[in-house]
Amino acid sequence: MGWTEAQKAELINLALSNEFNYADIARKMNKNDATVRHQAKKLGLPSKIAIHKKGQWNIKHAHLREPLLRYYLTHSAEECQKHFKLSPGEFKSCLTYAYISPNLKHIRKETRTHEPWSLSQLLFLLRHSGLRPRSWIAKKLKRGNAHSCIKERLERLGIASRTINGLTLSQFRSLFGKEPKYFIKTDAGPGRGKNSSTYFKIVPWVYLAKDLKANRLKTSRPMRNLIYSMALFQEWIFEGNALVKIKKIEKKIKRYEFKNI
């Protein structure tokens, strides 16, 4: 059955109210979810609706936000959960709403530095990008969260963390048509869980340059020049002995795996 003009208008009004997602709207209009989403796309509505209404839990526990922030200044997350009798999910939700409240800005737990990046901090960032998670780097540098600080800094530098320290395993296979003799299995990347296959597996630039010079790998002249340039850059950010220092980082990774194929 097609859509009447009245139904289209109702869909637009419900979607623009920012109070219902498309699944809610489908139930309200007694229509299939996929049908509603398809019609919304035809009408030029957003693919996802940012719902502005607050959940009942957050309304119910709004009175905890200020005391929770004050307690959090001198206590750990676990201590806060125990003191206020909150589950980890409830604690995170309450803290999130407290942090975005401008009225409570003066009592936020602030540990990050706002000073300009030093050369040593930038080198630390470059050495560990693609090898360690951005959240781990942010914590070590006390630079806020991984998205707003670390990712933004890498974007300003025009650097992709996935390839700053080497070719990924899939890139190596595509370029050379075989398996590498050595790669690092990192704990960086979009992976989640101990055995995830979506963590980066990287063949370091300095290792690639070494194999090219020994004629164990063959590729085009432009790619050879790129690898040599990146290897020189890698030696610079590690201040010499890059491969040795990368292996030291590798040993500190909990998901450590030295791979010989």
Instruction: Please report whether residue 135 resides in a domain.
Output: yes
Instruction: Please indicate, yes or no, whether residues 150 and 102 belong to a single structural domain of this protein.
Output: no
What is the side-by-side strand order in the sheet with 182-185?
166-168, 201-204, 182-185, 258-260
**Exposure class string for 35-50: b at 16+ Cβ within 10 A, else e:** ebbebbeeeebeeebe
User: How buried is 110 (Cβ within 10 angstroms: 0-12 exposed, 13-18 middle, 19+ buried)?
Assistant: exposed
Using pLDDT thresholds of 50, 70 and 90, give the confidence band for residue 195: low
Q: Give yes or no: residues 83 and 206 share one domain.
A: no
Instruction: Indicate whether 130 and 243 sit together in one domain.
Output: yes
| SS3 of residue 185 by DSSP | strand
The listed range with the strongest mean pLDDT (22-31, 55-64, 117-126) is 117-126
Predicted confidence (pLDDT) per residue in 202-251, tens digit:
999 999 999 999 999 999 999 999 999 999 999 999 999 999 999 999 88
List the domain range (segments joined by +) for residue 63. Answer: 56-107
Comparing 15-29, 76-90, 100-114, which segment has the lowest mean pLDDT? 100-114
Output the pLDDT for position 261.
32
Any domain includes 112: no
Check whether 55 has a pLDDT greater than 50: no
Per-residue pLDDT, 2: 79
Other C-beta atoms within 10 Å of 1: how many? Answer: 6
Regarding whether 161 and 84 lie in a shared domain, the answer is no
**Do 138 and 252 fall into the same domain?**
yes
The answer to whether position 169 is within a domain reads: yes
- HEC sequence for 61-119: CHHHHHHHHHHHCCCCHHHHHHHHCCCHHHHHHHHHHHHCCHHHHHHCCCCCCCCCCCH
Q: Are residues 173 and 244 in the same domain?
A: yes
Farthest-apart Cα atoms in the chain, separation: 73
Query: How is residue 163 written in tokens?
Result: 């390839």
Among 7-21, 83-97, 100-114, 216-230, the range of highest mean pLDDT? 216-230
Round the average pLDDT of the chain to a whole number and report it: 82
pLDDT at 114: 63
Q: How far, in Å, CA of 197 to CA of 50, rounded?
A: 32
Residue 167 placed within a domain: yes
pLDDT at 191 over 70: no
Say whether both 36 and 160 belong to one domain: no
> For the segment 16-39, what is each residue's pLDDT rounded down to a tens digit?
766 678 888 888 888 888 888 888
pLDDT class for 254, splitting at 50, 70, 90? low
Q: 248 in a domain, yes or no?
A: yes
Q: What is the pLDDT of residue 57?
A: 44
pLDDT for the residue 14: 81
Which residue, 194, 189, 195, is CA-closest to 168?
189
pLDDT of residue 28: 85
Coil, helix or strand for 182? strand
Q: Are residues 80 and 195 in the same domain?
A: no
138 and 236 within one domain: yes
Residue 62 pLDDT: 77
Region of 206 (left: φ > 0; alpha: ψ -120 to 50; beta: rest) is alpha
141-183 pLDDT, tens digit per residue, is 887 766 667 888 888 888 888 899 999 988 999 999 999 999 9
Asked, for residue 50, whether it belongs to a domain, the answer is no
